[in-house]
Amino acid sequence: MNLPLDLLINAVIAGVLLGGFYAAVTVGVSISFGMLDVVNIAHPAFIILGSYIAYIINATTGLDPIIIALLALPAFYLLGAGVYQVYYLAFERRGQESLRGLAFFFGLLFITEVALILGFGVDYRYVQAAYIGPSWRSAIGDLPLRMLIPCLFSMVMVLGLQFYLTRTFTGRAIQAVAQDQQALQLLAANPVTIKRIAFGISIATASLAGALLIIIQPIEPSVGRDYIGRVFAICVLGGMGSLPGTVIAAMLLGIMESFTATFYGPSWAPAVAFGFLLLTLAVRPAGILGR
Amino acid sequence: MRAPLFFLVSLTIAALLFGLAARVGNDYLFFAAYVVLQFVVLATAWNILGGYCGYVNFGTAAFFAIGAYTAVVLHKIGANTGRYLPDALQFLRPLFPLSVPVMIGLGGVIAGVVGLCMGYLTLRLRGVFFAIATLAMAVVLQTLVINWDFVGGSRGAYIIRPDSIAVAGLKLGYVQYLCVVMGVLAVIALSVARLIERSRLGYGFASIRDDELAAEAAGVPTLRVKMIATTISGAFMGMAGAPYPYYIGYVEPAATFGLPYAVNSIAMPMIGGTTSWVGPLIGAILLGSLQQIATVTISSAANLLIVGVLLVLFVIIAPKGIIGLLHANRRPRRP
């Protein structure tokens, strides 16, 4: 096959930028699913919620979506902590988290989606910002700012989280909580509190990820569903709860999707993520950087 | 009650209900009843894997769509056998056009095989991965169908159903006929679920649900048992989907793979109670009728919201469903 080189380079660049953004989408699940063992399949719904909040405030005040997302972080943190409290009281404490917990999050996903459809209809919504149109022309090819900025912010967020998780006491406690709760209690840290904080953080990342999503593409309520597969594919492939693994897996998936979209057509792109996930689960469930 | 007797009794009840509905003479009743019966089959099928084994399947819509698209393909081949039937299979030509029950059978076989493969790939992992993989499979299949021109891609396919059909010398409206077919299917699904519940296989399922490691240690061939469960469950979902194109007249991927099927088939057993065949039946009749009423009186988006909220409320407040609530009330009378 005779591939034009610039097309190839553009596909790789687009893939890396897309992958960077996917890291932001996945990092919340890497924390909740990878570290806390809470199978939050509603995470994409929270991301879409973040997108809609960015859309509403941007449409009324014209504020930059990323600033809106940063302002909304505390609210999302509280929302996450609240959801975890319900989850803990209703399922984890009773030891029935697997079946009913899944149904609970699935219900949340569905409620959010339907509520957004009732509120805003199924029209595609988008935000206004100065950097959404132009591209940055560089030596290696065109870098659309619409993709570059989400990628950069995503990387900053992931780095910040990695720093927090490895350098602070609470962060290390979060990493420890899934491994050994009793040992954690011996260090005078309450596992439930730690998990609540961690889950709050994981939902807070959805606020920023949502704003980045609506910068990249117009959204409607059911877009979130496409992300379930991506998010879990990346999380599993990245080795469940390893943030560097998450970034690598996100980039890999981004590049693969971008190649598929370039050479086979965009309608095949969603199948890539899910096919990738099925393959990962079948062949190497421990992920690339698995323990 | 012995299984054949149970089958006959429920078939009689279904026939009586049908006779009653025919007396009313309102065609909408059959349209609504078909949907409720379809959900009885889907909820029962979901429960065979989800309730008995404890493995959550989010991919109901995928299995349902496999059945529906099997019917679309067979219908299209049947409409023009000379053009679409491969030369090697031309000897099958006199069989076409296929009747709906045959399509249900074939849809069930294909969905069952998909269930088997799916189970083989993912059931060795933790249950959570199976749940996520089923979600993934739904999207992969949807993408395949969208890119498959033969069944209309994302434009969808039209199926013009006949006005009426003669069954055993009796002339029936086509929707009434579909309703009868779905009713028989629902009775079969319930009988199978009940049979499983009281068999060795059912105890194997329950042991997996309660403690898979202990079950394995006690000699239950867990992987094989789980694969039987996914196959049966998938097959019934496919069967429920096969008559759908004839019922709705127009099949397109977004609706056929829609989330409502997945949510409903999880919500109905959860609300009714997952440990016995009665639970999904109660849940499906309650939620199914409620949705039919809400669709007519409020709006179709609102009825989905009701399902979601009920699902979340029930899993939090009444984890054993309506059956569990009934049992809890009965307990104090024990001497």
Residue of B142, B267, B319 lying closest to A96 (CB–CB): B319
Q: What is the CATH number of the domain that holds A77?
A: 1.10.3470
Give the single-character DSSP code of A36.
T
In a domain? residue A291: no
The pLDDT value given to residue B254: 83
Please provide the distance, in angstroms rounded to a whole number, between the alpha carbons at the two ends of chain B.
26
Token pair 């809890």 is found at B328
Q: What is the CATH number of the domain that holds B17?
A: 1.10.3470
In a domain? residue A288: no
Decide if pLDDT at A149 tops 50.
Answer: yes
B16: tokens are 């009586």
In a domain? residue B234: yes
Q: Where are the alpha helices (DSSP H) in chain B?
A: 3-24, 27-53, 60-79, 81-84, 100-122, 127-146, 174-197, 200-210, 212-217, 222-241, 244-248, 253-256, 259-272, 278-297, 300-317, 321-330
Tens digits of residue pLDDT in B73-113: 888 887 777 777 777 777 777 777 778 888 899 999 999 99
> How many domains, in total, are found in chain B?
1
Residue of A99, A110, A285 lying closest to B56 (CB–CB): A99
The pLDDT value given to residue A141: 66
State the best of A43, A91, A92, A281 to mutate against chain B, taking most chain B CBs within 10 Å.
A281
- Within its chain, how far is the Cα of A165 from the centroid? 17
The pLDDT value given to residue A291: 47
In a domain? residue B334: no
- Within its chain, how far is the Cα of A152 from the centroid? 15
Q: What is the dihedral of CA A141, A147, A148, A150, to 10 degrees?
A: -170
Cβ atoms of A19 and A255 within 8 Å: the answer is yes
* CA distances in angstroms from A25 to A155, A233, A258, B17, listed in the order given: 11, 12, 17, 51
Contacting residues of B for A91, CB less than 8 Å apart: 315
In a domain? residue B327: no
Residue of A90, A96, A281 lying closest to B121 (CB–CB): A281
The pLDDT value given to residue B55: 87
In a domain? residue B7: yes
- Mean pLDDT over the full length of chain B: 85
Decide if pLDDT at B189 tops 50.
Answer: yes
State the best of B143, B264, B298 to mutate against chain A, taking most chain A CBs within 10 Å.
B143
Contacting residues of A for B49, CB less than 8 Å apart: none
Structural domain span for residue A202? 5-283
Among A222-226, A282-286, B262-266, which is the least confidently predicted range?
A: A282-286
A147: tokens are 């993709």
In a domain? residue A290: no
Tens digits of residue pLDDT in A10-46: 888 888 999 999 999 999 999 998 888 888 889 999 9
Contacting residues of B for A226, CB less than 8 Å apart: 139
> How many domains, in total, are found in chain A?
1
A115: tokens are 């509520």
In a domain? residue A161: yes
In a domain? residue A19: yes
Decide if pLDDT at A287 tops 70.
Answer: no
Q: Residue B331 burial (CB < 10 Å; 0-12/13-18/19+)?
A: exposed
Structural domain span for residue B172? 3-321
Task: Compute the half-sphere exposure of residue A45: CA atoms within 13 Å on the CB side of its CA.
Answer: 18
In a domain? residue B332: no
Tens digits of residue pLDDT in A69-89: 999 999 999 999 999 999 988
Task: Compute the half-sphere exposure of residue B57: CA atoms within 13 Å on the CB side of its CA.
Answer: 37
In a domain? residue A289: no
Residue A138 has a CB neighbour count (10 Å cut-off) of: 10
Rank A195-209, B109-123, B139-153, B255-269 by mean pLDDT and report only the highest. A195-209
In a domain? residue B328: no
- Within its chain, how far is the Cα of A192 from the centroid? 23
Contacting residues of A for B53, CB less than 8 Å apart: none
Tens digits of residue pLDDT in B48-78: 998 888 888 888 999 999 999 999 988 888 7
In a domain? residue A115: yes
User: Cβ–Cβ of B270/A222 closer than 8 Å?
Assistant: no
